[in-house]
Structure 1
Amino acid sequence: MKVLLKPVLALAIMLAPAASFAQTPAPVDLRILAINDFHGYLRPAPGGIIITDPEDSTKKITVEAGGAEHMATLVSQLREGHKNSIFVAAGDLIGASPFLSAMFHDEPTIEALSMMGLNISAVGNHEFDEGKDELLRIQNGGCHPVDQCQGPHPFTGAKFRYLAASTFEKSSGKTVFPAYEIREFDGIPVAFIGLTLKGTPGLVSPVGIAGLEFRDEAETVNALIPELKARGVEAIVVLIHEGGLPTGDYNDCPGISGPIVDIVRKFDKAVDVVVSGHTHRAYVCEIDGRLVTSGDKYGTLVTAIDLKLDPVTRDIVSASAGNNIVRTATLAKDAQQTALLESYDRLAAPIANRPAGSVTATLSRVPNAAGESPLGDIIADAQLAATSAQAKGGAVIAFTNPGGVRADVTRKEEGAVTYADLFASQPFRNQLVTLTLTGKQIKEMLEAQWRDPKRPRILQVSKGFSYAWDGSKGDGERIIAERMTLNGQPVDPAALYRVTVNHFLFVGGDGFTVLTEGTAPLTGVYDVDALHTYFAANSPIAPTAADRIVRIN
């Protein structure tokens, strides 16, 4: 897609006399390569990317794609022949990562992206999964404060610069990371502004972002425009960890909805190009006269954005973009990336390959119409099993958040499942917490699943507990009280129940603040270790019927 950003200027150039044409300096070309939501997928993610069949537009096909080894090769190829280029990202490079990256607190991912020449990235919500201080360590280097130095060599931090214009320290009023970075290309300055989505506090542990404020994205950008113009900057690119929901193929945008649309429309007209993310979708759009892109997820795509900069006005006069698939079948592996991954593999393999058990069929994380998934059920059952016999009051119910269930447990040859397979589905290493709630508080917690009605977060529940909800009702009235049962008996609003959740939920994550009112908390094992123990004791494991949650209307 090509967007003509300055039509008045273009018309003036076309109508200029020939003599003036000859004196007009040629535009400066700039290629921006962009990714988003890599999430530590150093090796290709299962499932690749689904696209429209080029030979039959009525069909969809799956293309195997991704992985740092193949991406590095594509990035190198896309840079060839371009004197001016820069490699940027729109956040969530780390967090919710597969075992190889997560075991080392995502240090391998930071090294891999630094090695392939990433220059700048916005901070996404998942960059805060382990808190502000850990993200600062990721930027600056050093050993992990708890697990110390685990990797094959010292971790020196990211060689790229994180930007977070809208993320402020409440105490100082200053941003945690720089708001923007200015790069010059043939003497023309281009500003890159990085933004974390305003909704981050509802997506990460409140403990990890204590003392931080996440301000409005558009207001933040617009407030920076006078400062940038005072520094002689006219060309402005926004890297934002927020996105949209398109209807077209990976290089199309026949229709797009979602937060990015309103945000872009609110941006000052000085903003020329927007690189987005967060929604794990692929699109190349024109929104309010600006080029807006997104590159799917897990490293399946690299977006190539081509700009023309006017040497006189120092502004962007045209922009076009295309998403390029990181095809594992045709792209060679980059030797440096392979060596890096192998160095971490040697340390991780003994743990990753440890047998966990087996499955009779794939355990899917995809929810049904009521919001329940077979894998969600199994994870909740594992957490109940891990905490039901605690000496100070064992749990009778377990709940887990759907956002913490990150990947299917796929049935492979003979159904064998490894620790790494389980880790992929539970990558956050959340400790389990068992606390006391009243029946009334349990209902309040379930009602909070619709804190954002457009994006309900339906908790996965353990066996023995069931309930029904009515989609036609309003806030506070969706849960049918008489349909809440435990082992066939109605849940008593006044009775006390021991309930297990992960630490993220315990501290009010995803807006489940009623859990912070629970009493007698008792901390248990990590969620992935509870799942591993459950598999070892109960394999082979079959998918559940997913009938614990009932939707009416």
Structure 2
Amino acid sequence: MIAGENQANSKVQDTLRITILQTADIHGQLDSHPELFWENERIVFKERGGLSTTKTLFDQERAKNPNRTIIIDGGDLIQGSGYAALSNGAIFPEIIRKMNYDYWEVVYGKESMLDVLNAYGTPVIAQNMYHEQGGKRLFPPYWIKEIEGIKLGFIGINDPDVSLRQNPIFSEGMTFSGLDENTEKLIDELKNKKNVAVLFLVTHMGIFKQVELANNEMAKNVDYILGNDTHERVRKPIEGKYAKVTEPGAFGSFVGKLNLYFVNGKLVKDDYELMDVDPEKYAADTEIQELVDKAKAPYKEHLETVIGYTNTPMFRYLTVENPTDNFITDAARWKTGADIAISNGFRFGNPIVPVNGKPAPITRANLWNLIPVNEKIKTGKATGKQIKAWLEREMHNTFAQNPTERFGGWLVRFSGMEVDFSSRAPRGQRANSVRVKGQEIQDDEYYTISACVRPGDPLDNLCRIPNVKDVEVKDYTIHDVLEEYLKLKSPISPKLDGRAYSDYLGPYSFSTVPRTDYKFQ
């Protein structure tokens, strides 16, 4: 009996558990909010998130594994809400310093980004971001943390397509490199020269490219890819040929928890859990909540003003079409009189959900959550041929079977146009039917289009449609339009109406990750 106890104690002493907690794509969300779940083939909503709630979860997890818990974030923290936008992200450093994160971000322009991140007081890493002048890195490329003799290495990699996907002005003064020989050399250096026991790539490239990377020989010395960007809720790590991939949702609604178990310095097993940040389970941390309230105070009266109501739930998440963007594009087409209104396939915004049969209020804060860049409306004319070519490019960006050719993962949104398409068809052959004003679109006919200005784009470019004619920048912004629309038409009842449809995907497609069994839940 005593011998057995000694053997058990020896085994416990030889096993070391290290915990990695990961958040991603919080997008400026300070408070708890409705979150969408897909359960039993239907949509349900639950209250989740909040930085003060997250802090309590962090503290409880640290207490379970003291001095052996690392907390990281994979980016897109300081942009995506009205409070973030109106403060240029400046509300966050004081809060984040109390939460001990490891961050990198790209938004609000280079100087604002550097000011905010340097104020965090925590390591910031990015291997592939450079000053345009001089070519020096903006941040250190990696971070090594040693715990009881075990070295863990983290390499930060941002999306090299940032300048194409985001407003070009955001990346002025910066350049981005792709996954190249410098990445390979750094991986080799950390694993074989710095002798890290476990190597993580903290990537902000989207689930498709992250899974592809896990199967690429470049990752042969990588153990885990802690993914970010596409807001996917990976509940079981996706196993590539060389590395495992995680991604912990978005908006502060979830925390990824990876436990690593070591025996004699060697990793012998792991386990993973996607934890819900549930306010009913984790009481708000008083200190963080006070800081959040203080940060919100200068903007709260303006942002929490109710500007309208909705009778039906408003949400995004769906790959093909969603009620929120139907509302936004319908309003833009109503205001401009354009034949077609376009909105980017934004991944922003928490659901707005009526309760007990009563219309749900819509505030200015909600508008900022949905469209965190409030730009002026731009209109112009394009031929049917231009529009069809653009649609084919956008569909390829969303549904390409080669993950390296994907951008984002959600189809562009529109009003005034009906598109039936085959998502798995070859490039350039996906559109089965494109109808405007109830008629099949004509190659040589001109159609008026409205979209938002993307600062840094050429004047004749509308939402990635080049060479548009008769371009006019309006004197009102998209938020102005939505407030005016709500004032006249509230309560609204946006819903799915089939304006974009793929028979293969159906109306409730949440994710399309090729060659995996991943499902959004």
TM range (shorter): 0.7 to 0.9
- 1:128 equivalent to 2:106? Answer yes
Tell me, yes or no, if structure 1 residue 225 matches structure 2 residue 187: yes
Using the alignment, how far apart are the partners of 1:437 and 1:293 within structure 2? Answer: 41
CA contact (8 A) 1:30 1:84 kept: yes
> How many angstroms does 1:458 deviate by?
3.4
- Contact kept, 8 Å, 2:453 with 2:462, in 1: the verdict is no
Match of 2:115 in 1: 137
Aligned to 1:282: 234
* CA apart distance, 1:535: 0.5
Retained in 2: the 8 A contact 1:375–1:409? no
Question: For 1:510 and 1:409, how far apart are their aligned partners in 2?
Answer: 32
Aligned counterpart, 2:49 = 66
Q: Deviations over 1:26-64 (max 9, x none)?
A: 676543322222222221231266689xxxxx9998764
Q: What amino acid is aligned across from residue 106 of structure 1 in structure 2? A: G
Q: Distance in 1 between matches of 2:463 and 2:370?
A: 22
Q: In the aligned structure 1, how far is the partner of 2:43 from the partner of 2:474?
A: 46
Report deviation, 1:467. Answer: 4.9
Deviation at 1:72, TM superposition (A): 0.5
Alignment partner of 1:194 out of 141, 148, 156: 156
Name the aligned partner's letter for residue 383 of structure 1.
A
Among 349, 354, 360, the residue aligned to 1:411: 354
Distance of aligned partners of 1:443 and 1:163 in 2 relative to their CA distance in 1, 3 Å threshold: same
In structure 2, the residue corresponding to 1:92 is in which secondary structure? coil
Q: Aligned to 2:95, which of 85, 93, 112?
A: 112
Residues 133, 518 of structure 1: CA spacing in aligned structure 2 closer, same or farther, 3 A cutoff? farther
1:260-295: CA deviation from partner (whole Å, max 9, x where unpaired): 333123345443343223332133435447554332
Residues 36, 351 of structure 2: 8 Å contact kept: no
Q: How far off is 1:211 after superposition?
A: 6.1
Deviation at 1:472, TM superposition (A): 7.2
- The TM-score normalised by the length of structure 2 is 0.78
Q: Which runs of 5+ in 2 are unaligned?
A: 1-9, 401-405, 505-521
Work out the number of aligned pairs and report it.
478
- Taking the aligned partners of 1:202 and 1:450, their CA distance within structure 2 comes to 16
1:260 is the counterpart of 2:210? yes
* SS of aligned partner of 1:444: helix
Instruction: Report the CA distance between 1:552 and its aligned residue.
Output: 7.3
RMSD across aligned positions (CA): 3.9
Per the TM alignment, residue 99 of structure 1 is displaced from its structure 2 partner at its CA by 3.3
Distance in 2 separating the partners of 1:547 and 1:49: 22
Matched, 1:303 2:287: no
Measured in 2, the distance between the counterparts of 1:178 and 1:165 equals 7
User: What amino acid is the match of 2:204?
Assistant: H
The structural deviation recorded for 1:178 is: 1.6
Shift of 1:183: 2.9
Q: Which amino acid letter does the alignment assign opposite residue 165 of structure 1?
A: Q
Q: Match of 2:367?
A: 422
The verdict on how the C-alpha distance between 1:202 and 1:270 changes in structure 2, with shifts beyond 3 A counting, is same
Partner of 2:301: 350
The letter of the residue matching 1:302 is: V
- The SS at the match of 1:403 is coil
Report the counterpart of residue 476 of structure 1 in structure 2.
428
**Per-residue deviation, 1:75:** 0.7
- The amino acid across from 1:283 in the alignment is R
For residue 238 of structure 1, the aligned residue among 198, 201, 209 is 201
Are 2:380 and 2:472, in contact at CA under 8 Å, matched by a contact in 1?
yes
Aligned 1:174-213 pairs, distance under 5 A: 174-186=136-148, 189-210=151-172, 212-213=174-175
Q: Assess if the C-alpha contact under 8 Å between 1:39 and 1:94 holds in 2.
A: yes
* Distance of 2:225 and 2:498 partners within structure 1: 43
Equivalent-residue separation in structure 1 for 2:346 and 2:426 (angstroms) = 23
Residue of structure 1 equivalent to 2:328: 379
Q: What's 1:501 paired with?
A: 451
Tell me the SS of whatever aligns to 1:174. Answer: coil
Q: Flag the structure with larger Rg.
A: 1
Matched, 1:433 2:384: no
Contact 2:49 2:278 in 1 (8 A): yes
What is the CA distance between 1:188 and its match in structure 2? 5.0
Aligned residue type for 2:84: S
Q: Alignment identity in percent?
A: 23
Question: Residue type matched to 1:499 in 2?
Answer: I
- Once the two structures are superposed, the pairs formed by residues 129-168 of structure 1 within 5 Å of their partners are 129-140=107-118, 157-168=119-130
Report the CA distance between 1:338 and its aligned residue. Answer: 1.0
The TM-score, its normalising length taken from structure 1, stands at: 0.74
- Which residue of 71, 82, 87 corresponds with 2:66? 82
Whether the aligned pair in 2 keeps the contact of 1:235 and 1:270 (CA below 8 Å) is: no
Following superposition, the deviation at residue 533 of structure 1 comes to 1.4
